[in-house]
A and B are shown apart, each in its own frame.
Chain A
Amino acid sequence: MRRVLVCSSLEWWVSWLDCGDERAAPGRGRCGRIEMTSGNLAFAEAMRQINPDVVAAYPITPSTEIPMRFAEYVANGEVDTRYVAVESEHSAITACVGASVAGGRVMTASSANGVALMHEIFPIAASFRAPIVFGLVNRSLGAPVNIHCDHSDSMPERDSGWVQIYCEDAQEVYDTVMLSVRLAEHPDVLTPVFVCQDGFITSHCYEPVEFLSDEAVRSFVGAREPRYPLLDVENPVSYGSFTMSEYYFEIKRNQIEGLNHVQRVYGKLSSEYFALSGREYPVIDRYMSDDADYVAVIMSSAAGVVKDVVDDLRGDGVRAGCIRVRMYRPFPAMELREALRGKKCVAVLDRSASPGGTAPLAAEVKSALYMQPDRTPVFDYIFGLGGRDFFPSDALRVFQDMMEFRYEDGARYIGLLEEDDQE
């Protein structure tokens, strides 16, 4: 799906153009409210409509706007959430775990070092099967200090046991929050969810976003029905027990099963949400990739650049395509294997590195393709660290590499100032 923005005199008109295969949008929850807003503020607006029980958050750029805006909603009585302005990210996520285990619907947001400080608690939240919807606004990890986007904050959490969904734009952020509440709380899943968006690029740039009516949101998300709430004093339970080798493995296995149910549950939710909003978000976003020879695989906002270049190349008769991986955990390996079968060449573009190893997206894609009978060649690239711009010319060069089959062992850097460039 592709949105095309048309600017007509002083008014903004937004049209959702179908790219070939899209169904007519049912959209029964639409209320016609389209506003210029940012990824952060779209997230906060979703929170207002959801009216969670508890929000515990701590400020950090670039996610700060989410709790700031939400605190205004609380101050103005637009929600009846208990907002806990904690003294650190560590306490933010801990309070979220406490509130979720208590039986509440819980949300928070953070970025970069804040996410890193929370690291200890993420696997505990996942192991407690504590649903939390988390606005992760991607920002590079220090040092050096840098407030701009890359995925070096969320990728270290890929094994924390949380669901990770990466959004391309503000509309998708808004819609993904709705889906994530249901996904996290689904009894077969009961797993916290990171809703990732690119810091500043998505979080702070304004674009038109279509909102659902408050009633439509309320009926879609419903009320949380906790299974073993800590506040049920008549049926006491213990969370966070001590166990060594006798039971740890089994408990972890159960937790992994929760993630294994995500794709199935998500598929149903996604269809339900399509009926409501007219917008559908599969786990991978296939753009002109079905008949493509050359496919670039990428995540989040930079996919837009690749899609533009795909359009240009198609104009020149090159069968180029783009696949944007939206759900990174659980990783949609089967869907990718299907989508990339028989391609002449695939390039994977990572917005974070795994120093000394293969970057996270490339590692997953290569792993997914390994068992194909005719293995697709995969080139890997690292781009955009610390918010380094990613230009159409960069994406074009990637396609040219594929077309001329210029293979290199290991990842190539895109847009890096090499010694030659500094003269």
Chain B
Amino acid sequence: MSGVRLKDLAGRKNPLTEGHRMCPGCGSPTALRQAFMGIDDPVVVVGATGCMEVSSTVYPYSAWRVPFMHVAFENAAAAISGVAAAHEVLARRGAARKDIKFVAFGGDGGTYDIGLQALSGALERGHDFTYICYNNQGYMNTGAQRSGATPRGANATTSPAGRVLGGKLERPKNMTEIAAAHDIPYAAQTTLHNPADLISKVRRAVETPGPAFVNVLTPCALFWKIEPSDQVKICSLAADTRFWPVYEVIDGRHVLSYTPKNPRPLEDFLRAQGRYAHLFKKGEERADLIAQAQRDVDEDWEKLLGKCSRSALTSASS
């Protein structure tokens, strides 16, 4: 990736310190630390209620080397709107530095579900900020309840795999497309398969004037039921099975950032996680649900490819 030299970035002090209280193997602090590597200017951070927030600000400590605010669960985007609005006035008057960047983050619950309205409003109003969703596909802070981001077939504590029902029955929302549909200048989704990808996406997001949205799939070792050391491995599987396509929407144009050379069957991703264990239980295998999950992925991928090729055609003809 152009402009990203991990060796240089690794030596810099990260806004998010070590010593926070996130679980071993959690993908969310990895995602945020990588994200901040893409930001050179001073940054002000707003976090929605969730694992990241409770674990990084255990009073009287704070894991934030930069200004940080948490207001509530559903309103990180509204809070950053207010901060950015005040900044416009105060910077004009010389009461604040002009070069500050604004980052809001929330989990998938705080983004896809309860925070969707505030996010939609902030995107529509066009504040200059970057919203990062650390998406572990469930309400992990409260014990793995299903969210609008939980994939079909996954076991969650409010859509448990039982004798009759096989985990969550509904398809997740496509939040990246919902954000992009606000005609914001930049939306992207990625995962932790390649640090340079996330870093460069966040760099682009913060350097683009106006709102930007970055959706990062981050494993929850505890409730995806994976080994903490398998964080990168599971993210690579998500990308290589096309479960989580890595792409950008730049001024409305869809561009794939990563095309798996030898795409793997979704089953490889599912089998690697305990949250899908019920699909593979000996003698009670749910081939139907596995096939359905594969169909979901294939359909989404085809749709995305269609958008990418249309975008390629439009930019070629313009």
Cβ–Cβ contact A86 & B86, under 8 A: no
Q: How far is the CA of A80 from the CA of B60 in the complex (A)?
A: 38
A180 within 8 A of B: no
| B95 adjacent to chain A (CB < 8 Å) | yes
On whether the beta carbons of A239 and B89 are closer than 8 Å, the reply is no
Measured CB to CB, the nearest residue on chain B to A84 is B85
Interface residue B97 (Cβ < 8 Å from any Cβ of A)? yes
In the complex, how many residues of chain A place their beta carbon closer than 8 angstroms to a beta carbon of chain B?
44
Question: Judging by beta carbons under 8 Å apart, are A94 and B44 in contact?
Answer: no
Across chains A and B, which 5 residue pairs bring their CB atoms closest together, nearest first?
A98-B82, A87-B121, A95-B82, A240-B70, A104-B86
Interchain CB contact (< 8 A) of A230 among B44, B72, B120: B44
Interface residues of A in 36-60 (CB under 8 A from B): 53-54, 56
Give 9 A-B contacts (CB < 8 Å), ordered by A residue.
A84-B85, A90-B78, A91-B122, A96-B82, A99-B82, A103-B95, A103-B96, A121-B72, A233-B97
**How far, in angstroms, from A238 to B65 measured CA to CA in the complex?**
9
Q: Are B82 and A240 in contact (CB under 8 A)?
A: no
Chain B, 28-54, CB within 8 A of any chain A CB: 42-44, 46, 53-54
Q: Are A98 and B79 in contact (CB under 8 A)?
A: yes
Determine the chain B residues whose CB is within 8 A of the CB of A371 once the complex forms.
none
Q: Are A91 and B86 in contact (CB under 8 A)?
A: no
Complex CA–CA separation, A246 to B78 (angstroms): 30
Query: Which residues 80-106 of B sit at the A interface, judged by CB distance below 8 A?
Result: 80-83, 85-90, 92, 95-97, 100
Q: With a CB–CB cut-off of 8 A, which chain A residues contact B64? A: 236, 238
Q: Is the CB of A86 within 8 A of B78?
A: yes
- A121 and B124 within 8 A (CB): no
Find out whether the CB atom of B79 lies under 8 angstroms from the CB atom of A97.
yes
Query: CA–CA, A236 to B97, complex, Å?
Result: 13
Whether B62 lies near A241 (C-beta < 8 A) is yes
Q: How far is the CA of A222 from the CA of B88 in the complex (A)?
A: 20
Q: Is the CB of B117 within 8 A of A242?
A: no
Q: Determine the chain B residues whose CB is within 8 A of the CB of A205 once the complex forms.
A: none
Asked if B121 and A88 sit within 8 Å, CB to CB, the answer is: yes
Judge if A231 is at the interface, Cβ distance under 8 Å. Answer: yes
Given the complex, which residues of B lie within 8 Å of A101, measured CB to CB?
69, 83
Residues of B within 8 A of A (CB): 42-44, 46, 53-55, 57-60, 62, 64-72, 74-75, 77-83, 85-90, 92, 95-97, 100, 117-118, 120-122, 124-125
Determine if A81 is an interface residue (Cβ-Cβ < 8 Å).
yes
Cα separation A102 to B97 with both chains bound (whole Å): 12
Q: When the two chains form their complex, are residues A95 and B81 in contact, meaning their CB atoms are under 8 A apart?
A: yes
Which residue of chain B has its CB nearest to the CB of A240?
Answer: B70
Of the candidates A54, A90, A124, A241, which one forms a contact with B86 in the assembled complex, judged by CB atoms under 8 Å apart? A54
Are B75 and A94 within 8 A (Cβ)? yes
**Given the complex of chains A and B, what is the CA–CA distance between A56 and B121 in angstroms?**
12
* Given known A84-B81, A240-B69, contact A90–B90 (CB-CB < 8 A): no
A82 adjacent to B75 (CB under 8 Å): no
A102–B78 alpha-carbon span in the complex (Å): 13
Bound Cα distance A232, B87 (Å): 11
Partner of B89, one of A80, A233, A237: A80
A243 and B117 contacting across the interface, CB-CB below 8 Å: no
Beyond known contacts A104-B90, A232-B67: 6 more, CB 8 A cutoff: A82-B86, A91-B77, A91-B118, A236-B66, A241-B57, A242-B55
Instruction: Find out whether the CB atom of A247 lies under 8 angstroms from the CB atom of B121.
Output: no
Q: Which of A97, A98, A242 contacts B53 (CB 8 A)?
A: A242
Contact of B68 among A82, A84, A236 (CB under 8 A): A236
The closest CB in chain A to the CB of B76 belongs to A94
Closest-by-CB residue of B relative to A95 is: B82
Asked if B89 contacts A86 (CB within 8 A), the reply is no
Residue in contact with A94 in the complex, picked from B65, B82, B86, B97, CB distance below 8 Å: B82
* A56, closest chain B residue (CB): B82
Chain A residues with Cβ below 8 Å from B74 are 90
Of B60, B69, B88, which is in contact with the most chain A CB atoms at under 10 Å from its CB? Answer: B69
A87–B120 touching, CB < 8 Å = yes
Q: Please tell me if the beta carbons of B125 and A81 are within 8 angstroms of each other in the complex.
A: no
0/1 string, A241-255, CB within 8 A of B gives 1: 111001100010000
**Contacts A121-B71, A233-B42, A240-B71 given: A91-B121 contact, CB under 8 Å?**
yes
Are A233's CB and B125's CB within 8 A? Answer: no
Query: Which residues does chain B contribute within 8 Å of A232, judged by CB atoms?
Result: 67, 96
- Return B76 CB to nearest CB of chain A, in Å: 9
- Alpha-carbon separation in the docked complex, A85 to B79 (Å): 13
Q: How far apart are the CA atoms of A99 and B80 in the complex, in Å? A: 8
Contact A98 B121 (CB under 8 A): no
Q: Which residues of chain A in 94-140 are interfacial with respect to chain B, using CB atoms and an 8 Å cutoff?
A: 94-104, 106, 120-121, 124
In the assembled complex, the Cα of A111 lies from the Cα of B257 at a distance in Å of 48
Give the residues in chain B near A242, CB-CB below 8 Å.
53-55, 57-59
Say whether B125 contacts A102, CB under 8 Å: no
Interface string of A330-355 (1 = CB under 8 A from B): 00000000000000000000000000
Residues in chain A near residue B42, CB distance under 8 A: 233
> When the two chains form the complex, which single residue of A106, A124, A229, A243 contacts B71, counting CB atoms closer than 8 Å?
A124
B86 near A99 with CB under 8 A, answer yes
- B residues within 8 A CB of A87? 117-118, 120-121, 124
Contacts known (A85-B125, A86-B121, A247-B59); A231 close to B67, Cβ less than 8 A: yes
Do B67 and A230 touch (CB < 8 A)? yes
Q: Closest approach, in angstroms, between the C-beta of A90 and any C-beta of chain B?
A: 6
Q: Do the beta carbons of B75 and A121 come within 8 Å of each other?
A: yes
A53 touches B78 (CB 8 A): no
Assembly CA distance A239 to B72 (angstroms): 11
For B96, list chain A residues within 8 Å (CB): 102-103, 229, 231-232
